[in-house]
Amino acid sequence: MRRLLIISVGVLLTALVSAQSRPDALFETTNPVTLSGTVLSVGSYTGTRGPEAFLIFEVPNGPNRRDRWAARVASPAPVTRGEPVLVTGFTAVKTAKLADLLPYGAVPMLAPIAGAGHVIRATEIKRPDGRTLTPPVR
């Protein structure tokens, strides 16, 4: 029984490390998109690959609808709630599950990210005047 438990844990850890080592496979890296939205919050954590952050923002989608997005970034962007931003990056592939997109060290950020409904791997975040706010994610 103990041997089976050790093997199971080993397989689980291998799967987690494997998913972490190839994050680009989960995103459409051939078609960058730019989204114009309003900042809701910024959160950071220290994951297995070092410090990372998510920017939660809303994007207008029709006359009375707004979609929430979570942008994965390398470091927290110097923005405030309600500030307009332009986020350029790669959206998740259609087959990706939320659990696959999040580093397992991101537990403090899970609720806001899961509530967003959409995830983008940001390559650039700008203010509407064109000033760049944060370096791209690694």
Rounded CA Rg of the chain: 16
Enter the tokens of residue 78: 């110097």
Is the model's pLDDT at 92 over the cut of 80? yes
| 93 phi, psi to nearest 5 deg | -65, 155
For 8-12, 64-68, 82-86, 101-105, which range has the lowest pLDDT when averaged over its residues? 8-12
Confidence of residue 76 (pLDDT cuts 50, 70, 90): confident
State the pLDDT at residue 13.
Answer: 40
Highest-pLDDT range among 78-82, 107-111, 134-138: 78-82
Burial grade of 127 (CB within 10 A; 0-12, 13-18, 19 or more): middle
State the pLDDT at residue 104.
Answer: 57
11-35 tens-digit pLDDT: 344 444 444 444 567 888 888 999 9
Specify the pTM: 0.71
How many Å apart are CA 106 and CA 13, to the nearest integer? 16
Q: Torsion-angle region of residue 74: left (phi > 0), alpha (psi -120 to 50) or beta?
A: alpha
Tokens 């029709």 found at: 62
DSSP-assigned beta bridge partners for residue 132: 126
Domain 2-134 fold? OB fold (Dihydrolipoamide Acetyltransferase, E2P) (2.40.50)
Higher confidence at residue 102 or residue 63? 63
Provide the residue ranges of all domains of the chain, joining segments of one domain with +. 2-134
Longest dimension (CA), the chain: 62
3-class SS at 22?
Answer: coil
State the pLDDT at residue 31.
Answer: 87
How many Å apart are CA 31 and CA 82, to the nearest integer? 28
For 46-55, 66-75, 103-112, which range has the lowest pLDDT when averaged over its residues? 103-112
